[in-house]
Structures are given as C-alpha cells and as structure tokens.
Structure 1
Amino acid sequence: MIRNKLLLAAIVAGSTVTVSQAALAYQAGDFLLRGDIAKTSPEGDASDNIESENGFVGSVGYMVHDKLGVTLGSSEEFEHEFSAGAYEGSFEQQPIDLMVQYYPLGGLDARVQPYVGVGANYTRFSGESDGLNIDNTWAAKGELGVDLFVTKNFAFNGFASYTDLDADYSLAGVSDEADVDPLTVGGGVTFRF
C-alpha cells in the first residue's frame, strides 16, 4: 500500500514538473509586455557632442509562431545635452520601433529564452534649443536580448540594441548630418499573457 502511494506521488510530482516546464515555453498566440530601464549612448561621430541619458522603455509583442514574434516599442523622451564649438543646448529624442524577433528556444521548455531582433526605427526629435533644428528620421535597428522566467507569466529581461541613425540638422543656419548611432542597454521585466 505504501509502495503504491509512493508511486502515485512520484507520478504526480513528475507530471507537475513536466507541465510547469512546458508552460514556460513561448508559443504562437502569446502576448508579451516588457518594461525596462535603459541607458542610451550615442556611438557615432556625434558621440563626443551628445551626452548619454537614462529612461524608461517598453514594448508590446505578439508571438506569430513559437520562435517568431513581432513587437512595437517606444520610450519616454530622452533629453540629451548637446555642444558644438561654442554652442551648447539640448534636444529630446523619442524612438518608436517595429521589430521582428527570433527566439531560438521558442516552443522548448527553457527558463532562459534568448532572442535577436531586426526592424525599423522612427526617431522623433523635439525640444531643440534656440538655433538648433533636427529632422525626424527613419533608421535600421538590431537587438539582442534574453528573458529569464521566474514563473509561467513573469520573467526578468535584459537587452542591448543598436540603431544606425543619421539625423539631418541645422545649427545657426548651417545644415549638416549627424551620425548618432545610439546604443541602448537596459533591463527590466517581461509579462506574458
């Protein structure tokens, strides 16, 4: 009798572990909601003239396949201090991204779900100081990230992204192009529904 109870307990425990692990896998139809604190740093030719800034970034995603998702993301406006020669001022930048993300372990019972993404970035500039005008621009963007699941619907997230951003601007009537190329690194949480 005790042997049957132990066998039954082992079967129940084993099936519970199997079910909970399978529940961690990304699957087609899942919605992802991410919120992160990030630091964005210009890495292009203009990096000496533009200061780095911290802020909140977030995205909403949908898994179209176990290994493939689409996300729409944005952030609060990052305010950057800017200097060029004797000129000192500031501007605000707000990126909006549409990304396709590939999850190599999607559909598998892995607590760690790395991903890589590529997509389009639209950056809106505003709040330029007097004499400075920056045009909104489109750019290509790439991203690497990882979700570390704690429960079925909650994970910690970390990511790094790079945007190949060249912005046309005019300063005191002189027009030019700035090679900004922001590198953004952040961490936060992912909720899955």
Structure 2
Amino acid sequence: MKLMKTLIAGAVSMAFLPAVPAFAYEAGDIIVKAGVINVIPKDGNADTSALVPDSELDIDSNIQLGLTGVYMVNQYLGVELLAATPFEHTAEGDGGAIDGADVLTTKHLPPTLSAQYYPMGADSAIQPYVGLGVNYTFFFDEEDDAGLGSNGLKPSFGLAYSAGVDYMINDNWLVNASVWKVDIDTEVKGGAADGLEVEIDPIAFMVACGYKF
C-alpha cells in the first residue's frame, strides 16, 4: 500500500512538470523545405562602355520555387543543398545608346552546398543558423537580344554565405526565412562582347515551410 501511494504521488508530480519539447535537431535528421525564393542581382553588372560609351548592364531580379535539403551531422552542424526551378534574367542597357534596351536574356541554375551551424539548444523552438558554402551556376537558353553575336555565358564557381531561422511548429513541421549572398561572376562567350565580365553577385531571399524527418 505504501508503495502504491509512492507511485501515485510520483505520477501526479510528473504530470505537473513542464513538458520538454523535442525541438532539437539530431544526427541523421533530414529537413526538407520548399518556398518562394527571390534572386536579386547587384546593380551595375557589367561595364559596356568599351562597346557603347557611357553604358553598363543591369540584370533584373526573378522569383522561383526554392528547395533546400539539410542533413544534420549532429545537433549543431548541418549540410544544406539549395536548389530551385530555373531562374530567368534579362540584362538591360543602362545609359548611352543602349539605355533601356534588352541586351541578353538567360536562364540559370545555381546549386549551392553549404555547411551550417545551429547554436540553440533542445528546448528552443527557434533555430537560427549561419552557413558557408560553394556555388556552381550554369547558364542555358541564352537569347542574344541585341544581336551582338554572343553564344552564351560561361559557368561560374564561387563562395556563398547564408543565414536563416527555423521556427518549429512542432517536432516535425517548421517555417523558415533565409538569405544567401552568392558570388556569381561570368563572361560573355563570342561576338562583339566576347570576354565581357559580368558580375551578378545576387542576394537571395527565401520564405518556406518544411518538414523534419
């Protein structure tokens, strides 16, 4: 009887203890996120003054479906792969005789692999992180809108810096906001603009929902 009272008392006291949510990422977890991603190139992407005096190229932004997959090496370290549906950008003349004219249209895919650090503990529903990685961007379906005789853009390889935050709705579902700064530099191939250096160097913003397996 005494043992029974002890067990009941223990059960009652446990019932009134605050629950500890299992928010922590653990080794082997896979987090998949999908959402809207906006790639915004920097201003003044190419100096075309050697071809057209007092001119440069500006590349417009583009919104696509963004996808990320994260594999947790341990509670604090993850490896992320960023992918997306193909981005399409138009390079427009700024200044000189080409002001406002479409010069080049291209599509590209920028897969990015990053290592990420998650500093928060197991009881935090908010999981911020920072990352450092590498990006490989390849271009396709280029259109020579200005008739310069070019036949595309060279692939780009560079660093990528990232930061973001996951908010765990429960142990599996989450919402996410993230940003990347990506080094994308390329050159025009062929035609009158052959060898022209194009610095895209975009900032990418993504809002997504995700699931932890």
Q: TM-score, normalised by structure 1?
A: 0.87
> 1:80-126 CA distances to partner (integer Å, 9 max, x unpaired)?
12123255331112110111000011x42100000001000000111
Establish whether residue 120 from structure 1 lines up as the match of residue 146 from structure 2: no
Structure of higher CA gyration radius: 2
Q: Compute the displacement of 1:14 (Å).
A: 2.5
Aligned residues of 2:43 and 2:59 also touching (Cα < 8 A)? no
How many residues of Structure 1 are paired with residues of Structure 2 in the alignment?
185
Deviates more, 1:87-96 or 1:121-130: 87-96
Computed over aligned residues only, the root mean square deviation of the Cα atoms, in angstroms, reads 2.1
Partners of 1:103 and 1:167 in 2: CA distance: 33
Structure-2-length-normalised TM-score: 0.79
Offset at 1:173? 2.8
Counterparts of 1:10 and 1:136, CA distance in 2: 63
Deviations 1:26-83 (A, max 9, x none): 1111111111201110015318611111111111111111100011221111111212
Q: 1:51 to 1:87 in 2, by over 3 A?
A: closer
1:102 alignment partner in structure 2:
117
- Does structure 2 conserve the Cα–Cα contact (< 8 Å) formed by 1:57 and 1:73? yes
Structure 2: tracts of 5 or more residues without a match: 1-6, 47-56
Question: Which amino acid is 1:102 matched to?
Answer: Y
CA distance in 2, matches of 1:6, 1:54: 59
Structure holding more helix per residue: 1
**155, 159, 170: which is aligned to 2:174?**
155
* Contact persistence 2:28–2:71 (CA under 8 A): yes
The structure with more strand, counted as a fraction of residues: 1
Paired AA for residue 142 in structure 2: E
Q: Is this contact kept in 1: 2:43–2:58, CA < 8 A?
A: no
Q: Distance in 2 between matches of 1:66 and 1:116?
A: 14
Equivalent positions of 1:30-179 (< 5 A) are 30-43=29-42, 45-46=44-45, 49-84=58-93, 85=98, 86-105=101-120, 107-130=121-144, 131-132=149-150, 133-170=152-189, 172-174=191-193, 175-179=195-199
Q: Which moved more, 1:89-98 or 1:140-149?
A: 89-98
In structure 2, distance between residues paired with 1:13 and 1:96? 49
Identify which range, 122-131 or 93-102, moves more after superposition. 122-131
